[in-house]
Copies of this chain bind each other. A is one copy, B any other.
Amino acid sequence: MRKYQIKAPDVLLLSKFDPDDTGEFKKTPKDKDKAKTLAKEYIEKMDQLQERLYADGSRSLLIVLQGMDTSGKDSTIKNVMSGINPQGCQVVTFKTPSDQELKHDFLWRVHYKAPAKGQIGIFNRSHYEDVLITRVHKKISEKVTKQRFDQINEFEELLSENGTAIVKFFLYISKDEQKIRLEERINDPEKRWKFNAGDLEERKFWQEYMKAFEDMITSTSTEHSPWFIIPSNRKWYRNLLIAQIVVNVLENMKLKTPPEPPDIDFATLKIE
C-alpha cells in the first residue's frame, strides 16, 4: 500500500510506475478471485468505519479521484463505494464550470461541495482539472499553474486543519489499455451513449497529460493530503488497493462513539 503513496517533494516520473502492476498478486484467475474476496472484506470494514465517522460527527473524509477518461473513476465509485450508507456519503461530479462558476475563483464551487462533518465526500474529478485540462490546452500560464498548486495546498490545509482527512487517487492506466476500453464502448451499442468525440481529442494529448499529472502529484502531495498512484489496468487490483487505503485512513482517524448526553440521567429514566 505504502509503495503507491507519494511523499513530496519526490520528483516523480510516471514511467517508473507500471499501470499493469498487481503487487503480490499474480495475474491468474485464482489470484484475481483472492483479491476480489479481500476487497469485499475491506468494503465491509469501510461500511462499519463510515458508521463510526457518522456517529463521531467531528471529522470528515474527502476522497479525490482523478485519471484519464476510461481510467475507472465511475467504476471505482460503483464497485468500491456502493454498499456504504448513502446517508453518510456524497458524490460530487465536477463538469465544465457554468457561466456563474467561471465568475468566481476556481476553488469557489469546490469549497462549497466539501464534505460536512460526519460525511464521506467523493470528488469524481475535482479542482485538479484546473491544473490539468486547462494547462494541457494552454488556457493558463505556467505562472498561474504554479500559483494554483500553492492555492490548492493552502485550501487542502484549511480543510485538513478543520477536521477533514484527505486522500487522493490518480487512477493510472496505460494508453493501450485506454484504447481497449474505448473500443469496448464503440463495439457495444448499449454503451455508445457514453462515448463522445471529445474523448478521442484528449487522447491525442496523452504525453502532455502524463507530464501534467506528474507535476500535479509532485506539487500537491503533502503529509495531510497525499496522492496515491493506483495501477488501474486491472480493475480488481485497483478496487482492492483503494478499499484498503480508505480503510487505513479511516482507521487512523481514531473515531469515537460520542459521549452520552450529560443532561439525562439514564439510570432513572422511565418511558411512559
Residues of A within 8 A of B (CB): 47, 55, 74, 77-78, 81-87, 89-91, 93, 122, 124, 179, 182-183, 186, 189-190, 192-193, 195-197, 200, 203-204, 257-261, 263-264, 266, 269, 271-272
Contacts and interface: CB of A to CB of B under 8 A. Distances in A.
A182 to B, nearest CB: 5
Contacts of A196: 261, 264
B82 A84 contact: yes
A82 B203 CA distance: 36
Contact of A83 (B82, B91, B203, B257): B82
15 contacts: A81-B87, A82-B82, A82-B83, A82-B85, A86-B86, A87-B93, A182-B271, A186-B266, A190-B257, A192-B260, A193-B257, A193-B258, A193-B261, A196-B261, A197-B264
A88 B93 CA distance: 10
Contacts of A74: 87
Q: Number of copies of this chain in the oligomer?
A: 2
Nearest to A93: B87
Contacts of A83: 82-83
Given A82-B83, A83-B82, A86-B81, A264 B195 contact: yes
Contacts of A260: 189, 192-193, 195
A54 to B, nearest CB: 10
Contacts of A84: 82, 86
A203 B78 CA distance: 40
Question: 9 closest A-B pairs (Cβ-Cβ)?
Answer: A193-B258, A192-B260, A87-B91, A86-B89, A78-B85, A77-B87, A86-B91, A82-B85, A179-B271
Given A271-B179, A271-B182, A261 B195 contact: yes
Contacts of A77: 85-87
